[in-house]
């Protein structure tokens, strides 16, 4: 297959939502359709509870939430699909923001009862900023929830998306009868007892056809009226406007009961973009360029605790990535080659010989990589749009077992490289401060230090308002560092960081030192 046809048969997308909207369940059902797994993680029996395929960290199994992005690749209808399943919990939003830099499109999952929630608003805002095409899946139709039109209004108002329903629910909760697929002009009937699609979908191009009454009875007239209203109120669907992020198609269904998922996937494969160009500091890189380029958007230590391995996740942007080939690590300006690059199916990995634009490759890392690093065939490029954000919650980290100080130092070092949190070392006393965007991250760090590195840690509070990176006029910077000595620190890469104690002190610092720039994300 040519490079062009390999690129065009790839779809790389992220699934985002608020916790409990059914994102991981939807991921699993997509994997089932692709034949990538044969049993859903949500399947439970009295003796055994299988956890979701994409939640591979022990703490995720215990808490029932995703706290790390996982990558899954599979083939369906001769299209190579790469799914990025992201954490929904707001305390892990930073991991999701970075993952969106590797996605070419996004599916947003919304709970029919809860509607649009705060975390979803923030994530969609990042997608809009990056002009990522968005599809919406309204989930849990088998439960009582909000009216479909009310939900669409909420999506338009809160998420600022222009929507177009491509399927329409018939009833809801106890009265849920099925979905009419406006995209394919087919009727999918829901059977409540075994919670599956009943028989084959009915092809109904004309909703005035009397045969509809046989299937839907009293609900027929309501469906006709609602579909007429949809066609009147919402714009005609056009794949190009969707790919330009100007319109978001909406599907309805129930992921847990496998209803409406296949239609979502089939339509997605028809209309979603193949790998897109990516911006670097100097130029835009097209996926169709012959020379390989890629960037690291995630690092994960100990995916397999037995092997203490550390993997850098690389998104291929252009050309063909080949095993055992020398590539330039642009930040270190040194050549590296990779003997066992891997493709993912959640925690299952397989060694690959080559990968194409859109693919995500895992590279064994001995400490060479940090998030945002670029790999090329020799050109000095630096991909942009993979920032760390200024943390707002801070705690001192201390060693709880003097015999394990080396393990603690190594664990902190590696976890910070993953981007789960940020490490600052205070100038005046050398104490280590961990900064995060959410409190739950401290729990994850403590758990992982103990179980993956055998290190015991304890936290003590430290009261800061925000951390920000400082650059600017050399003379003024030196003066500022002397003046603010007690609240100055260095980050992991030796850059100057100001730990502002209050919003007022930050405001005053900005006013008093006009030649300094205060950065609230690490890309500057």
Which one-letter DSSP state was computed for residue 183?
Answer: T
Full-model pTM: 0.78
Confidence of residue 40 (pLDDT cuts 50, 70, 90): very low
What is the per-residue pLDDT for 518? Answer: 94
CATH superfamily label, 393-519: Peptide chain release factor 3, domain III (3.30.70.3280)
Quick one: average pLDDT of 236-264?
A: 92
Confidence of residue 301 (pLDDT cuts 50, 70, 90): low
What is the per-residue pLDDT for 37? Answer: 55
Could you give the angle at the alpha carbon of 62 between the alpha carbons of 67 and 412, nearest 5°?
50
Per DSSP bridges, beta strands 374-376 and 327-329 are antiparallel
251 alpha carbon, distance to own chain's centre: 20
Phi/psi for 187 (5° steps) reads -105, 125
Q: Do domains 278-376 and 393-519 have the same CATH topology?
A: no
The more confidently predicted of residues 68 and 351 is 351
Quick one: average pLDDT of 127-148?
A: 92
Residue 97 has pLDDT above 80, yes or no: no
Confidence of residue 94 (pLDDT cuts 50, 70, 90): low
Quick one: average pLDDT of 90-114?
A: 82
Q: Is 175 helix (H, G, I), strand (E, B) or coil?
A: helix
Mean pLDDT rounded to a whole number for the chain: 84
Residue 287 has pLDDT above 90, yes or no: yes
Distances (CA, A) of 357 to 77, 98, 277, 319, 496: 19, 18, 10, 7, 36
What is the per-residue pLDDT for 294? Answer: 96
The more confidently predicted of residues 66 and 35 is 35
Domain spans, the chain: 11-70+104-271, 278-376, 393-519
- Tokens (6 digits) for 278: 């990516």
Distance, in Å, from the CA atom of 303 to the CA atom of 523, rounded to the nearest integer, reads 27
What is the per-residue pLDDT for 140? Answer: 93
pLDDT tens figures, 196-210: 444 456 777 777 777
Q: Under CATH, which number does the domain 278-376 receive?
A: 3.40.50.300
What is the per-residue pLDDT for 32? Answer: 80
Quick one: average pLDDT of 426-438?
A: 90
What is the per-residue pLDDT for 56? Answer: 43
pLDDT tens figures, 109-133: 999 999 998 878 878 888 888 889 9
Residue 249 has pLDDT above 90, yes or no: yes
Distance, in Å, from the CA atom of 518 to the CA atom of 524, rounded to the nearest integer, reads 10
Place of tokens 């930050």: 506
The more confidently predicted of residues 214 and 121 is 121
Residue 365 has pLDDT above 70, yes or no: yes
Crossing angle between the packed helical segments 148-159 and 219-233, to the nearest 10 degrees: 20
Residue 83 has pLDDT above 60, yes or no: yes
What is the per-residue pLDDT for 298? Answer: 85
Q: Tell me the residue length of the chain.
A: 524
What is the per-residue pLDDT for 43? Answer: 30
The more confidently predicted of residues 52 and 11 is 11
Quick one: average pLDDT of 73-102?
A: 76
Confidence of residue 346 (pLDDT cuts 50, 70, 90): very low
pLDDT tens figures, 259-270: 888 889 999 999
What is the per-residue pLDDT for 96? Answer: 72
pLDDT tens figures, 151-189: 999 999 999 999 999 999 988 888 888 888 899 888 888
Q: What is the CATH T-level fold of the domain 11-70+104-271, as seen in this structure?
A: Rossmann fold (3.40.50)
Per DSSP bridges, beta strands 374-376 and 457-461 are unpaired
Q: Is-contact 59 78, C-beta < 8 A?
A: no
Confidence of residue 42 (pLDDT cuts 50, 70, 90): very low
What is the per-residue pLDDT for 477? Answer: 95
What is the per-residue pLDDT for 127? Answer: 86
Confidence of residue 6 (pLDDT cuts 50, 70, 90): very high
In the chain, the percentage of residues whose pLDDT exceeds 70 is 85
Q: Is-contact 139 112, C-beta < 8 A?
A: yes
Confidence of residue 55 (pLDDT cuts 50, 70, 90): very low
DSSP 331-383: TTTEEE--S--EEEETTEEEE-SEE-TT-EEEEE-SS---TT-EEESS----B
- Tokens (6 digits) for 107: 């599916």
Least confident of 94-98, 290-294, 412-416: 94-98
Quick one: average pLDDT of 85-114?
A: 78
């Amino acid at each position: 297959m040519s490079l062009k046809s390999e690129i065009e048969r790839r779809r790389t997308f992220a699934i985002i939502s608020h916790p409990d909207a059914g994102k991981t369940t939807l991921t699993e059902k997509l994997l089932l359709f692709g034949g990538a797994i044969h049993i859903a993680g949500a399947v439970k029996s009295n003796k055994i509870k299988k956890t979701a395929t994409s939640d591979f960290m022990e703490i995720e199994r215990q808490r029932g939430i995703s706290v790390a992005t996982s990558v899954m690749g599979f083939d369906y209808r001769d299209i190579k699909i790469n799914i990025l399943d992201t954490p929904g919990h707001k305390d892990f939003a930073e991991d999701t923001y970075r993952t969106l830099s590797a996605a070419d499109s996004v599916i947003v999952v919304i709970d029919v009862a809860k509607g649009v929630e705060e975390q979803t608003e923030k994530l969609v805002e990042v997608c809009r900023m990056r002009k990522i095409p968005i599809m919406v899946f309204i989930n849990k139709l088998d439960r009582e929830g909000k009216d479909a039109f009310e939900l669409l209004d909420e999506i338009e108002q809160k998420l600022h998306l222009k929507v177009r329903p491509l399927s329409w629910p018939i009833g809801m909760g106890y009265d849920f009868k099925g979905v009419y697929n406006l995209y394919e002009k087919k009727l999918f009937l829901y059977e409540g007892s075994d919670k599956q699609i009943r028989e084959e979908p009915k092809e109904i191009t004309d909703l005035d056809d009397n045969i509809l009454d046989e299937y839907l009875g009293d609900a027929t007239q309501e469906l006709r009226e609602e579909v007429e209203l949809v066609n009147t109120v919402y714009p005609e669907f056009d794949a190009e406007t969707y790919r330009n992020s100007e319109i978001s198609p909406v599907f309805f269904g129930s992921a847990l009961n496998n209803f409406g998922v296949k239609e979502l996937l089939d339509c997605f494969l028809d209309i979603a973009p193949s790998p897109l160009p990516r911006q670097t500091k100097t130029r835009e890189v097209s996926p169709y360029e012959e020379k390989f380029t890629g960037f690291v958007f995630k690092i994960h230590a100990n995916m397999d605790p037995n092997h203490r391995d550390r993997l850098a996740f690389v998104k291929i942007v252009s050309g063909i990535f080949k095993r055992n080939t020398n590539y330039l690590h642009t930040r270190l300006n040194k050549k590296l080659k990779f003997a066992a690059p891997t493709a993912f199916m959640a925690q299952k990995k397989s060694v690959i010989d080559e990968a194409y634009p859109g693919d995500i490759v895992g590279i064994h890392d001995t400490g060479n990589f940090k998030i945002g690093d670029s790999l090329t065939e020799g050109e000095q490029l630096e991909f942009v749009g993979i920032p760390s954000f200024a943390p707002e919650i801070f705690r001192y980290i201390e060693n709880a077992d003097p015999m394990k100080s080396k393990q603690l130092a190594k664990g902190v070092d590696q976890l910070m490289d993953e981007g789960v949190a940020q490490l600052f070392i205070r100038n005046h006393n050398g104490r280590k401060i961990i900064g995060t965007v959410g409190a739950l991250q401290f729990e994850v760090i403590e758990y992982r230090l103990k179980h993956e590195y055998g290190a015991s840690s304890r936290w003590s509070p430290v009261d800061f308002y925000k951390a920000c990176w400082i650059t600017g006029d050399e003379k003024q910077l030196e003066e500022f560092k002397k003046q603010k000595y007690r609240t100055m620190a260095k980050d992991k890469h030796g850059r100057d960081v100001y730990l502002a104690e209050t919003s007022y002190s930050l405001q005053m610092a900005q006013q008093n030192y006009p030649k300094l720039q205060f950065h609230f994300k690490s890309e500057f």
